[in-house]
Amino acid sequence: MELTLNHFLLVSGLLFAIGLAGVLVRRNLLIIFMCLELMLAAANLTLVAFSRFHLVEGQPAYDAHVLLFFIITVAAAEVAVGLAIIVALFRTKETTDVTKVNTMKY
């Protein structure tokens, strides 16, 4: 069987859906954060797949690869800031359960 673009898109779509479902369903902030990273990984896989199957003069379109590296870098920065905020929250509330982070209500 030959691998086609559709196979890659299917896998990345599944990854994205799993990540999104995790963000919506899970209650632990750290797990939610991992699921967010999964969504970014899905986007990266899509980019690479499209670039591999979209040949420009016989070469993959490398623009997408550049975006991919930027996504990885930005995700790292986001994790650094995000974990710091989660740690600060844990110090004051001693929990990472999102259902307990609800002092502000309508």
Partner 1 sequence: MPVYYLEFIVVALGLVMLMVDAFAKLEDKRSLARLGILGLGIVFLLLFTVEKPAATEGVLWKFYAAPDSLSLFFKGLAVLCTLLVLVMAVEYTPVVVEQTANPEPGAHSQAGLGEFFALPVFACAGLMWMASANHLVSIFVSLETVSITFYILVAYLRRNVGSLEAGVKYLILGALSTGFLVYGFAWLFGVTGSMELPAISEALAREGINATAALFAFALILIALGFKLGAAPFHLWIPDVYQGAPTPITAFLSVGSKAAGAVVALRLISPFLASSPLVGKVTAILVVLAILTLLVGNLAALPQRNIKRLLAYSSVGHSGFLLMAMASAPRESLANAMTPATVVAFYLGAYLLMTLLAFLVLSSLRAVTPGEDLDAYRGLSKRSPFLAFALVVSMASLAGIPLTAGFFGKLFAFKMAIDAGQWGLLVAGLIAAGAGFYYYLKIAVSMYFSAPAKGEETAIRVNPLTAAAMVVLMILIVAAGFAPGLIVRLLS
Binding site for partner 1 (CB under 8 A): 16, 19-20, 23, 29, 32-33, 36, 39-40, 42-44, 46-47, 50-51, 54, 56, 61, 63-64, 66-67, 70-71, 74, 77-78, 81-82, 85-86, 88-89, 92-93, 98, 101-104, 106
CB of 32 to partner 1, least distance (A): 6
Residue 11 or 43 having the CB closest to partner 1: 43
Helix (H, G, I), strand (E, B) or coil at 26: coil
Q: How many CA atoms lie within 13 A of 19 on its CB side?
A: 17
CB of 18 to partner 1, least distance (A): 12
The secondary structure of residue 2, as a DSSP letter, is: -
CA distance 88 to 77: 17
Token pair belonging to 45: 């896989």
CB of 63 to partner 1, least distance (A): 4
CB of 7 to partner 1, least distance (A): 14
Q: What sign has the CA pseudo-torsion 36, 42, 45, 50?
A: negative
